């Protein structure tokens, strides 16, 4: 099975007036968007995340600046560098994630397939590994 996350192109319209990226439910975003949040002002050297999600799908877009997303599926770890608003990271359910190496100007937009629900989180890595094994 291929790794359940990948960089995807964000449809972008450009002309002499600049660029316009489009994110649309069930189209350029392959799920119904139920929630949008954004992370910014992350102090240098600080990481975010450190949790897994059971059901949640997400599309992460670096609106400004850059950062890395480190994903773990229970056996394999992959790192994705996000640095351009025309490429997002599509994350399937069941992955552990860490967001690291934020530039000072980083703005991380997250589109999510579910409303906020603490029940969907796994906040301990050992528990995440056990959950993957039990699936
Ligand atoms: P958390 O998911 O732990 O952030 P990160 O993964 O970036 O480190 O969320 C941080 C806080 O924000 C926590 O108190 C929960 C709250 N929160 C919401 O209320 N709604 C949301 O949609 C999200 C993502 C977080």
- pLDDT (tens digit per residue) in 70-127: 999 999 999 999 999 999 999 999 999 999 999 999 999 999 999 999 999 999 999 9
Distance, in Å, from the CA atom of 33 to the CA atom of 72, rounded to the nearest integer, reads 23
- Cα 1 to ligand 1 centre (Å): 30
Please give the mean pLDDT across all residues of the chain. 97
Determine the pLDDT at residue 59: 98
Which token pair is 78? Answer: 């992959």
Cα separation, 91 vs 7, whole angstroms: 9
Please determine, for residue 24, whether its predicted confidence score (pLDDT) is greater than 80: yes
Q: Ligand 1 center to residue 117 CA distance, Å?
A: 10
* Residue located nearest, by CA, to atom 14 of ligand 1: 118
Active site residue 53: no
Instruction: Read off the pLDDT band of 1 (50, 70, 90).
Output: confident
Q: Which residues contact 39 (CB under 8 A, 6 or more apart)?
A: 48, 99, 106, 107, 108, 110
Q: What is the pTM of this model?
A: 0.97
The reported pLDDT for the residue numbered 70 is 98
């Amino acid at each position: 099975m291929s790794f359940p996350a990948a960089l995807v192109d964000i449809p972008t319209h450009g002309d002499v007036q600049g660029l316009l990226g489009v994110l649309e439910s069930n189209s350029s975003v392959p799920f119904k968007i139920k929630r949008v949040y954004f992370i910014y002002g992350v102090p240098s050297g600080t990481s975010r995340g450190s949790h897994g999600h059971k059901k949640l799908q997400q599309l992460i877009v670096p609106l400004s600046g850059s950062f890395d997303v480190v994903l773990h599926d229970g056996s394999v770890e992959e790192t994705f560098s996000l640095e351009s608003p025309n490429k997002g990271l599509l994350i399937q359910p069941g992955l552990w994630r860490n967001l690291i190496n934020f530039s000072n100007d980083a703005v991380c937009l997250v589109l999510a397939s579910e409303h906020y629900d603490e029940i969907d989180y796994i906040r301990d890595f050992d528990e995440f590994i056990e959950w993957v094994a039990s699936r």
